[in-house]
Amino acid sequence: MQREQISVFDIFKIGIGPSSSHTLGPWRAAQQFVQLLLDKDCLQYVSQIKILLYGSLAKTGIGHGTDIAILLGLSGFDPVTFDIHYIGTEIDAIQDGHRLCLGGTTTIPFIKEEDLIFLYNESLPFHPNAVTFQAFLSTGKAISETFYSVGGGFVVREDEQSSSKKEVDLPFPIDKANDLLHWCLKTGLKVSDVVMENELAWRGEQETRDGVLNIFRIINECIYLGCHTRGNLPGGLNVARRAASLNKKLLSNAEYSDYPSWIQAIRNGGSGFKYTLDWVSCFALAVNEQNASFGRVVTAPTNGAAGVVPAVLQYYIVFCDGYNEDSIIKFMLIASEIGSIFKKGATLSAAMGGCQAEIGVSSAMAAAALTECLGGSQRQVLMAAEIAMEHHLGLTCDPIGGLVQIPCIERNTMGAIKAITASQLALQSNPDNAKVSLDAVVSTMWQTALDMNSKYKETSDGGLAINIPLSLPEC
């Protein structure tokens, strides 16, 4: 399996929901195709374009907004900066006008029903999430490229041999958990310190800190907005948002005006088990309700699992007095390294490995980060990650209607609670007595992914997706 250098900003990406592999990845692929046309100096000669969606991208593409993401990407918009309030306006303009403005400069005829094709019964061998772009030029030539959205917003072009990201000399090369432990024991550094030293190979410390804190800002905005937005989620399932109602119930008549005063209001409510448990669920619900509504979220490591790490981080901030920049940065760095270990040794793609690759990985990331932040040793950090994933092994991805609503949103609450439990178990345990290593569980997860039936891998062909009698509108 190809190894790669992964930064904290590769694991935590700012984007738009509802799916990192089915929305953010295809959006990035579309941008890359436009850039390829520019590099070949032929964008202005494009007269027609065809988009072919394969496998899981086809089967759950409508529910995950794959078509929307691709059209916005081809139009020259970026998911980090695009104003989500104008998604409907832009898509309506393309569909009603039968025009697509490639890269924001070259307008061509475009009929979505004819030019964006869902190949439900075809899948390419490299990965289930495949999209092919075909550009036909006025010169009579054509350009075709296939991209794979491999999970977490990562995109690979067909026949691409290496990452497009600049390779650097990392002081502490890490492919496996045992590599991370080796460097920690050899240097005496904490996990977060080792990760920061590697990040410094790409950029200065202040730039890294500022970048991580910006990620944290987006996460907070997402949680806060999700806790104060009511209504039903889009998609036809008529799933009601719950975070706002729960937030109001838990705070009763408490007054606050912004995120800091909201945090203080939550703290003032106490720290009982039931109260704390409700808030962890509320934090996770808030993020994934925003994600399901095409809101701005951060992959952690995916959009479908975007609520776990933020919920556990919020738990640490509110109930463990972790509201300071150093602790928040430490938390995010550790979580990203655990995510990268799973990316290198297994997968972050539910279409490849089921929901264990999303909720399971995010739970492991959060458990590890919380453990160091609460004073755990390097080995306890890895132990926490192992415990969290061990009890997500075999978790299927079976979204009803191809939407990230049922069971995805609630699974984030469960992943967050499991992460906190795994951390507590590790903190109260002696790693010398552990029977299962993190590397062993990563390997097991990958083997499980390979053995899992494809109908449980984000295809909506099995599980809850076919056993819940729901009447959905025609797509």
pLDDT digits (tens, 9 = 90+) for 175-185: 999 999 999 99
Please, which pLDDT band fits residue 471 given cuts at 50, 70 and 90? low
Domain 20-157 is found in CATH 3.30.1330.90: yes
* pLDDT band for position 161 (cuts 50, 70, 90): low
Which residue do the tokens 């949103």 mark? 409
Measured CA to CA in angstroms, residue 181 lies from 213, 346, 439, 442 at distances of 26, 19, 11, 15
Whether residue 474 is predicted with pLDDT greater than 60 in this model: the reply is: no
Residue 432, pLDDT score: 95
Tell me how crowded residue 269 is: count the other CB atoms within 10 A of its CB. 16
Mean pLDDT of 14-31: 95
Q: Where in the chain is the domain with CATH 3.30.1330.90?
A: 20-157
Strand boundaries in 20-153, DSSP class E: 46-54, 99-102, 106-109, 116-119, 129-137, 142-151
Angle separating helix axes 408-427 and 378-390, nearest 10 degrees = 140
Amino acid at 116: L
- Which pTM value belongs to this model? 0.94
**pLDDT for the residue 49:** 97
CA 369 to chain centre: 17
Distance CA 395, CA 386 (A): 15
424-442 per-position pLDDT tens digit: 999 999 999 999 999 999 9
The pLDDT mean for the chain works out to 95
Q: Radius of gyration over alpha carbons of the chain, in Å?
A: 22
**pLDDT over 90 percentage in the chain:** 94
pLDDT at 328 over 50: yes
Is the pLDDT at 167 greater than 50? The verdict is yes
